[in-house]
Amino acid sequence: MEDFLRQIREARRDYEGPELDDKQVPSDPMVLFGAWLEIANEKEKPEPLAMTLSTGQAGSRISARVVLLRGLDHDGFRFYTNYLSRKGNEIENNPLAALTFFWPVMSRQVRIEGKLEKVPAKESDEYFASRPRGSQIGAWASVQSEAVASRAVLDREYSRVEKLYDGKDIPRPPHWGGYILTPDRIEFWQGQLNRLHDRVLYNLQGGKWEILRLFP
């Protein structure tokens, strides 16, 4: 164990990538993010769409988990989950949240802050209908974030829901759907040698994006 802990302390990796020049980036951060995501989708396997979602009720501890990006447009970033989960309860009480993408192959990270709101029910219905049937059943079977006595309990509930909808279309649970995070702050990080990383911050001010370069 001591050897392993020493390896952790001594672990080093040189980050290096193309220059990220704050004077040459697009005026709209969503354009830059879209370009980075397209490259990540080719190079970052197996989960280029994985993002850490950080939430917390006002005045309480912060919680974080990895979710998958399931929609992107000029309005923001979309993902889907159980509205009654811990994250759902935190969002209900405090819609301010953060997303983090880390793409180690490209030595890139993107940090996003903004406000979450539920997507329209029709949009959630359409996405739920596109999911594999097993995932649809799982959305009904799991009381996400609540304690469960054993795996067997979950398996039994899955089987019950599976039989209930045998030969039928599975409707979207009312407690399950999408969120969209509308950003007001996006930071792009490009790793460089000697820890002299490039950091470019887009900060929304008065409806316009201010672009700043940050010290690493």
pLDDT at 16 over 90: no
> pLDDT by residue (tens digit) across 20-57?
999 999 999 999 999 999 999 999 999 999 999 999 98
Kindly report the pTM of this predicted structure. 0.94
Question: Rounded CA gap, 25 and 214, in Å?
Answer: 14
Q: Which of 101, 124, 86, 127 is nearest to 183 (CA)?
A: 101
Asked whether the beta carbons of 54 and 62 are under 8 A apart, the reply is yes
Domains in the chain, ordered, with CATH?
Answer: 14-132+174-214 (2.30.110.10)
Whole-number pLDDT of residue 174: 97
> Could you tell me the CA-to-CA distances from 57 to 60, 80, 123, 208 in Å, in that order?
5, 19, 26, 28
Rounded mean pLDDT of the chain? 96
Report in angstroms the alpha-carbon separations of 108 from 82, 94, 105: 30, 29, 8
| Predicted confidence (pLDDT) per residue in 178-207, tens digit | 999 999 999 999 999 999 999 999 999 999
For residue range 71-115, what is the model confidence (pLDDT) as tens digits? 999 999 999 999 999 999 999 999 999 999 999 999 999 999 999
| Cα 34 to Cα 173: distance, rounded to the nearest angstrom | 31
* Residues annotated as part of the active site: 195
Residue 13: the pLDDT is: 83
What confidence tier does 10 reach under pLDDT thresholds 50, 70, 90?
confident
pLDDT score at 120? 98
